[in-house]
């Protein structure tokens, strides 16, 4: 698998990412970034390229998921409109900050974030 991208594996990864994104509302990077680093290196050279690729792929995924949730009445517009401007700024700032962080440290930070969020969700009180 390390020789290059297997398109069947890529298609399954895309399907799983879309499913998880629409179901849980996560940005897809939780599945796609680790999978690309693990399964698609090469052609993905490092976590920074995996993050950038994931962000491009998640645009249509988020649009389709948003349309479906809109049709179901699952969007709280005041919250969405409050969060969107600062999320756009944060996305720009986060992408810019990757130039100052080594790929190793970025991998560790991403792994730590996944563990922290997972532990919170597993052990929070209902």
Q: Which of 6-10, 74-78, 80-84 has the lowest mean pLDDT?
A: 6-10
Using alpha carbons, list the distances in angstroms from residue 93 to 20, 43, 63. Answer: 26, 26, 22
Burial of 21 (0-12, 13-18, 19+ CB in 10 A): buried
The pair of three-digit structure tokens given for residue 28, joined into one six-digit string: 């897809």
Quick: pLDDT tens for 1-60.
455 568 888 889 889 888 888 888 877 788 889 989 998 888 899 999 999 999 998 889
R_g (Cα) of the chain, nearest Å: 16
Helix H or strand E segment including 53: helix 47-71
Find where tokens 């988020």 sit: 62
């Amino acid at each position: 698998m390390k020789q290059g991208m297997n398109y069947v594996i890529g298609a399954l990864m895309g399907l799983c990412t879309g499913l998880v994104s629409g179901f849980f509302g996560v940005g897809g990077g939780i599945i796609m970034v680790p999978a690309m680093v693990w399964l698609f290196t090469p052609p993905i050279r490092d976590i920074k390229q995996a993050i950038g690729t994931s962000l491009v792929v998640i645009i249509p995924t988020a649009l389709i998921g948003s349309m479906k949730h809109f049709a179901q009445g699952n969007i709280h517009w005041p919250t969405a409109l409050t969060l969107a401007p600062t999320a756009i700024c944060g996305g720009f700032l986060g992408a810019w900050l990757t130039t100052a962080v080594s790929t190793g440290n970025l991998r560790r930070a991403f792994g730590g974030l996944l563990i922290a969020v997972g532990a919170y969700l597993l052990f929070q009180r209902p």
